[in-house]
């Protein structure tokens, strides 16, 4: 079974998550501590996380909190960030300033650098020079590992081969994956290609922005308009799926969130749920203590397939 990591998209994001520094920052520090103590293996961030004037806030908070932790504890956590291929980032050195800025915000802690998305669909000439620039950072010993994000099986094969020809190992690829976005494991080739190539599959948004933690019949509440609209569309459509999740959670004396995470793990993916509160971190770490049976996984697979309304696809996802 895979481990479990966590993401920091919400750290500094006001538009979708309603971030407020005075209210949230103390909780975020405690959340990181609880996650590390509970055995979560990887933390994922990005240089574009944080809205408006708070751009880069996620990396900066993570670096600040890591520096304040016991070094023995913090070293147990693999730190990964993603660099966005914005149109003005061009050529083999196009990520150099962004990489240096991310590493500074993270206080020097950076174990894996990732291409945030592929530009193959709209600016194919931009992608390989930027990827080669990331490969150069690995060859120069500036960062140990290289990963991808938001690429499908065809692009994964192509980029994996390109890096392999340089003698560079591709460590991971992360995509949206949950019971409400099951395509990478139930309808596509991505999970199979990852296994074939020895690339770790990371599942972001494995709780579907919190929807998969809400029991059926309960009206979910959220502080932002964007999530409210998503809840209005997806909560009614996923009632039957969430009823199956509740039944399994009750039989396991666990939570719906743990069921959702262990469904990802049962399909060979390492889930990286977003965490904002210490209680969330404690709940997630408890998912490491058990696994789904084959019958439970199949019941969830079937319920997922019958849920026709899905999470919105990431517009940057490549084939």
Per-residue pLDDT of the chain (319 residues; tens, 9 = 90+): 789 999 999 999 999 999 999 999 999 999 999 999 999 999 999 999 999 999 999 999 999 999 999 999 899 999 999 999 999 999 999 999 999 999 999 999 999 999 999 999 999 999 999 999 999 999 999 999 999 999 999 999 999 999 999 999 999 999 999 999 999 999 879 999 999 999 999 999 999 999 999 999 988 777 788 899 999 999 999 999 999 999 999 999 999 999 999 999 999 999 999 999 999 999 999 999 999 999 999 999 999 999 999 999 999 999 9
Overall residue count recorded for the chain in this entry = 319
Q: Is 111:80 a contact under the CB 8 Å cutoff?
A: yes
With 0-12 CB in 10 A as exposed, 13-18 as middle and 19+ as buried, what is 295?
exposed
Strand partners, 42: 78
What residues are annotated to the active site?
49
Q: Is 29:21 a contact under the CB 8 Å cutoff?
A: no
Would you state the pLDDT for residue 188?
Answer: 76
The CB density around residue 108, as the number of other CB atoms within 10 Å, is 11
Alpha carbons 150 and 47: distance in angstroms, whole number: 16
Alpha carbons 179 and 202: distance in angstroms, whole number: 14
């Amino acid at each position: 079974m895979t481990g479990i990591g966590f993401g920091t998209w919400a750290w500094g994001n006001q538009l979708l998550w309603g971030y407020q520094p005075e209210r949230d920052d103390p909780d975020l520090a405690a959340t990181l501590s609880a996650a590390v103590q509970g055995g979560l293996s990887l933390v994922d961030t990005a240089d574009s996380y944080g809205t408006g004037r708070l751009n880069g806030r996620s990396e900066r908070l993570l670096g600040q909190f890591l520096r304040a932790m016991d070094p023995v504890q913090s070293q147990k956590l693999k730190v990964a960030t993603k660099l966005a291929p914005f149109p003005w980032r061009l050529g083999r050195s196009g990520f150099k300033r962004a990489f240096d800025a991310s590493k500074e915000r993270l206080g020097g802690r950076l174990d894996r650098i990732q291409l945030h998305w592929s530009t193959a669909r709209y600016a194919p000439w931009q992608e390989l020079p930027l990827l080669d620039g990331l490969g150069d950072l690995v060859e120069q010993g500036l960062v140990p590992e290289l990963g991808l994000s938001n690429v499908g099986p065809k692009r994964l094969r192509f980029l994996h081969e390109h890096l392999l020809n340089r003698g560079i190992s591709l460590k991971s690829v992360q995509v949206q994956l949950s019971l409400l976005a099951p395509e990478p494991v139930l309808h596509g080739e991505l999970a199979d290609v990852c296994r074939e190539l020895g690339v770790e599959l990371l599942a972001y948004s494995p709780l579907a922005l919190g929807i998969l933690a809400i029991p059926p019949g309960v009206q979910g509440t959220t502080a932002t308009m964007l999530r409210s609209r998503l809840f209005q569309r997806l909560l009614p459509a996923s009632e039957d799926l969430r009823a199956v999740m509740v039944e399994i959670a009750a039989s396991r004396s666990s939570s719906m969130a743990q069921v959702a995470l262990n469904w990802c793990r049962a399909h060979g993916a390492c889930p990286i749920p977003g965490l904002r509160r210490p209680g969330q971190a404690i709940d997630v770490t408890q998912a490491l203590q058990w696994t789904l049976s084959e019958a439970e996984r199949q019941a969830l697979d079937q319920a997922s397939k019958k849920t026709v309304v899905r999470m919105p696809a990431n517009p940057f996802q490549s084939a």
